[in-house]
Chain A
């Protein structure tokens, strides 16, 4: 699991953007991005991590401070989902939005598995 920096300094911002861009460029994973830094968010990230365990084709990224990504066009749709209330989003290997989770579904292991699977299958949100 990859946890992006939390410090709002210019250095951290650049580092966070670079780290996430690295995931985008690898084009090997379907990615589950978990927004926020609370206990619940860490629990969601941990459960998503269980579903990604032992698979080189799945990756979990926790973004404690979403504002660090502002200003980068690639991450625009992510920020928009976060603003819309999504707690976690699944992305295809091309970093396209596949599905988003919130509420009970975000903590449900079967829902997390299916979100990962749909992203791996290349399903994109309409």
Chain B
């Protein structure tokens, strides 16, 4: 019934009721996902919306809303413009309120139908109807007020059939005023732009709005694993390496820490130079700045920047002294687990600050040096203590270089941390190859994912904007953020590590074993809380192959393994996974030892997507 009412409203010549939004141009465009099966699903402008990897995103432009936006940007302030602007604003508000009332009326009619035509309506329904008319009265008065102010008869808005007739009359008036607005706006030179881009800054083709080429048509087979053979092979090698490390459980932590230290080596090297060599000279430099020089803004800037840098370096020097010493001596092997961990924590805490401070300090010192150089007579004597120090420290050059090194090192760390690296980076919206349109040229368009090179979990952004005749944006619309996912059933294959226990009377021991798991998952449309929860948990059912170690082993008196029986074991069985492939539990059968087992494990695919790697040097 509600759907019928919506169709009726659209038929009345106005936009379908939509939630009010304060986002720029948020009302001007609506995105609809059209699935592979042809199902149309409206996309909300809030948050990140999941769209299927094989879908097409239709972009509908509400020209009336765009015209309103164009008019708002109109800089001319003639009486005619002011009048049209005011009328449009009033009509937009009246239409919005009227749409709300019509939706309520539809609900009331539905409720009456449900209660049955013969009985007296329930008290709650009677109350709801009364409330509806209490709210309708001021709306009717507002419509009458508008009519009078526009020099019209209020009755003209109520000459149609029922509430819908009033809605239609208001829509007709809106179209009339919009036509006036269009005539005014067409002379402004404003243009309409729409563009889409992936998070990695790669532009996406929007038909009629740019000249980027369409990609080849490609429908993704969701039952074909997204992990490539190469990736799977690398993961399996990683799993085997990890399995060896996990023979001793404490090795896990050590592996993590050593991986992090390796990832940070570039950054720590530059830190080592700075902290051990320059740091000692920075403090006297700040102390040497005479108080009477602090009247010069450039001097204050240098002092503040260096003071901040010294504070951060001080924290890092304390936390990372052992690691820095080890780097200086050329071998990280000397760093023990605790020393590495303490340093990593400190760098993670201060890293981004350090990058900013290093760059700012370099710029501030460069500016000061230039100032002294260009005013030798005036500032030479005043800043003599500083300039004496500068050549010895070679700070300008070194700080600038060091700022770059630190930034590079921090990028290594971000790559290691992985998960937030993409989200943290700002998207670049290219202005080239775009086709902007005047009001009369505006058309709907689409993002056809099937013709776009994409992969699962890609983030893409869509944005409308209004461009001046000079080519700059006067209104940047809010972005629609979309994430490419595989909706419905899909298959994933990944490598992982299982902790295997033979099914016997004894609990344990759990021996680590590399595994390959193929699991079938299902992604629901995230329409409600349960479906979103289900998607977050991402359960899966599948099969596994792993290399258990359930046979016997010969160990010498020195504790060295001298032989295994059998030398090769293959286990096959079923697996249930949670959070993609992250957590796994399964039961299987060791084909060589001829015994059943169960295992708990974790997969490397989800971890890899989060940027976590276990293999040293990776």
Residue of B nearest to A26 (CB): B120
Mask, A91-126, CB within 8 Å of B = 1, is 001000000000000001111111001111110000
* B residues less than 8 Å from A54 (CB atoms): 161-164
CA distance A24 to B159 in the complex (A): 28
The answer to whether A56 has its CB under 8 Å from any CB of chain B is: yes
CA distance A55 to B104 in the complex (A): 12
Q: Are A28 and B120 in contact (CB under 8 A)?
A: yes
* A residues less than 8 Å from B165 (CB atoms): 50, 53
* A residues less than 8 Å from B136 (CB atoms): 117, 120-121
The answer to whether B19 has its CB under 8 Å from any CB of chain A is: no
Contacts A28-B120, A56-B112, A120-B133 given; does A110 touch B163 at CB 8 Å? no
Residue of A nearest to B154 (CB): A110
Residue of B nearest to A107 (CB): B155
Contacts A28-B112, A121-B137 given; does A113 touch B158 at CB 8 Å? yes
Residue of A nearest to B129 (CB): A57
CA distance A76 to B349 in the complex (A): 85
* B residues less than 8 Å from A114 (CB atoms): 137, 140-141
Residue of B nearest to A93 (CB): B126
The answer to whether A30 has its CB under 8 Å from any CB of chain B is: yes
Contacts A28-B121, A114-B137 given; does A50 touch B130 at CB 8 Å? no
In B90-109, the 8 Å CB interface with A consists of: 105, 108-109
The answer to whether B598 has its CB under 8 Å from any CB of chain A is: no
In A44-87, the 8 Å CB interface with B consists of: 50-57
Mask, B151-187, CB within 8 Å of A = 1, is 0001101111111111000000000000000000000
The answer to whether A27 has its CB under 8 Å from any CB of chain B is: yes
The smallest beta-carbon distance between A6 and chain B, in angstroms, is 27
* A residues less than 8 Å from B157 (CB atoms): 110
Residue of A nearest to B144 (CB): A110
* B residues less than 8 Å from A120 (CB atoms): 129-130, 132-133, 136
Residue of A nearest to B159 (CB): A109
Determine which of A27, A57, A111 lies in contact with B108 in the assembled complex, contact meaning CB atoms within 8 Å.
Answer: A57
CA distance A110 to B105 in the complex (A): 19
Which bracket fits the contact residues of B? Answer: 20 to 34
Query: Interface residues of A, CB < 8 Å — how many?
Result: 27
Q: Are B162 and A55 in contact (CB under 8 A)?
A: yes
**Prevailing SS type, chain B contact patch:** helix
Q: Are A121 and B133 in contact (CB under 8 A)?
A: yes
CA distance A27 to B159 in the complex (A): 27
CA distance A28 to B159 in the complex (A): 24
The smallest beta-carbon distance between A48 and chain B, in angstroms, is 11
Residue of B nearest to A50 (CB): B161
In B445-480, the 8 Å CB interface with A consists of: none
The smallest beta-carbon distance between A121 and chain B, in angstroms, is 4
Residue of B nearest to A114 (CB): B140
CA distance A99 to B129 in the complex (A): 18
CA distance A57 to B130 in the complex (A): 10
CA distance A27 to B132 in the complex (A): 16
CA distance A121 to B126 in the complex (A): 10
Mask, A23-51, CB within 8 Å of B = 1, is 00111101000000000000000000011
Contacts A27-B121, A117-B136 given; does A52 touch B130 at CB 8 Å? no
* B residues less than 8 Å from A121 (CB atoms): 130, 133-134, 136-137
CA distance A119 to B157 in the complex (A): 20
Q: Are B161 and A122 in contact (CB under 8 A)?
A: no
* A residues less than 8 Å from B163 (CB atoms): 54-55
Residue among A52, A57, A108 with the highest chain B CB neighbour number at 10 A: A57
Q: Are B162 and A52 in contact (CB under 8 A)?
A: yes
* A residues less than 8 Å from B161 (CB atoms): 50, 53-54
Q: Are B120 and A27 in contact (CB under 8 A)?
A: yes
Q: Are B137 and A117 in contact (CB under 8 A)?
A: yes
* A residues less than 8 Å from B160 (CB atoms): 50
Determine which of B137, B155, B164 lies in contact with A118 in the assembled complex, contact meaning CB atoms within 8 Å.
Answer: B137
* B residues less than 8 Å from A52 (CB atoms): 162
In B111-161, the 8 Å CB interface with A consists of: 112, 120-121, 126, 129-130, 132-134, 136-137, 140-141, 144, 154-155, 157-161
The smallest beta-carbon distance between B104 and chain A, in angstroms, is 12
CA distance A6 to B162 in the complex (A): 28
Residue of A nearest to B120 (CB): A27
The smallest beta-carbon distance between B212 and chain A, in angstroms, is 49
CA distance A119 to B162 in the complex (A): 16
Q: Are B137 and A50 in contact (CB under 8 A)?
A: no
Residue among B133, B140, B141 with the highest chain A CB neighbour number at 10 A: B133
Q: Are A50 and B162 in contact (CB under 8 A)?
A: yes
CA distance A56 to B1 in the complex (A): 15
CA distance A109 to B163 in the complex (A): 12
* B residues less than 8 Å from A110 (CB atoms): 140, 144, 154-155, 157-158
The smallest beta-carbon distance between A2 and chain B, in angstroms, is 16
Which 3 residue pairs are nearest across A and B when measured between Cβ atoms? Answer: A120-B133, A53-B162, A54-B162
Other A-B pairs, 17, CB within 8 Å; known A51-B158, A55-B105, A110-B155: A27-B120, A28-B120, A28-B121, A50-B162, A54-B161, A54-B162, A54-B163, A54-B164, A93-B126, A109-B158, A113-B158, A114-B141, A118-B133, A120-B133, A120-B136, A121-B134, A121-B137
Question: Residues on A close to B: CB < 8 A?
Answer: 25-28, 30, 50-57, 93, 108-114, 117-122
Q: Give 22 CB contacts A-B under 8 Å.
A: A27-B126, A28-B121, A50-B159, A50-B161, A50-B165, A52-B162, A53-B161, A54-B164, A55-B163, A56-B112, A109-B155, A109-B159, A110-B140, A110-B155, A110-B158, A111-B155, A113-B166, A117-B140, A118-B133, A120-B130, A120-B136, A121-B133
